[in-house]
Amino acid sequence: MVIKMEVKEVLNIALLSGEILLTSGSEIYRVEDTIERICSVYGIKCESFVTPTGIFISGLAVNNPSESVSLIRRIRNRTINLHNIELINTFSRDLQNSTLSYDEAMKKLKSIEAGPYFSFARRLGAAGVTSFAYAILFKGSLFDGLLTGVIGMLIYSILEKMKNADISQYFRNFICSFTAGVMSVFIGSLISSLNVNSILVGSIMILVPGLAITNGIRDALHGDILSSQARIAEALLIVTTIGVGVGAALLLMKYWM
Question: Least distance from C-beta 249 to other proteins, angstroms?
Answer: 10
Q: Does 200 bind other proteins (CB under 8 A)?
A: yes
Report the C-alpha gap between 13 and 15 in whole angstroms. 5
Per CB under 8 A, the list member of 42, 91, 138, 178 interacting with other proteins is: 138
Site for other proteins in 8-47 (CB under 8 A): 25-27, 30
CB within 8 A of 195, min separation 6: which ones?
Answer: 139, 140, 141, 144
Nearest residue to 204 via CA among 230, 229, 174, 228: 174
The one among 89, 99, 141, 157 contacting other proteins by CB under 8 A: 89
Distance CA 129, CA 132 (A): 5
Q: What share of the chain is helix, strand, coil (3-state, %, to 5)?
A: 70, 10, 20
What sign for the dihedral angle of Cα 161, 167, 170, 175? negative
Look up residue 24 and give its amino acid. S
| Part in contact with other proteins (CB under 8 A); list of ranges 7-15, 37-45, 68-76, 135-143 | 135-143
Among 62, 80, 167, 233, binds other proteins (CB under 8 A): 80
CA distances for 212 relative to 33, 226, 229, angstroms: 20, 14, 10
* List 3, 60, 123, 162, residue binding other proteins (CB under 8 A): 123
- Segment 214-253, which members bind other proteins (CB under 8 A)? 214-215, 217-218, 221, 239, 243, 246-247, 250-251
Q: Residues in the site for other proteins, rule: CB under 8 A?
A: 25-27, 30, 80-86, 89-90, 93, 117-118, 122-123, 126-127, 129-130, 132-134, 136-138, 156, 197, 200-201, 204-206, 208, 210-211, 213-215, 217-218, 221, 239, 243, 246-247, 250-251, 254
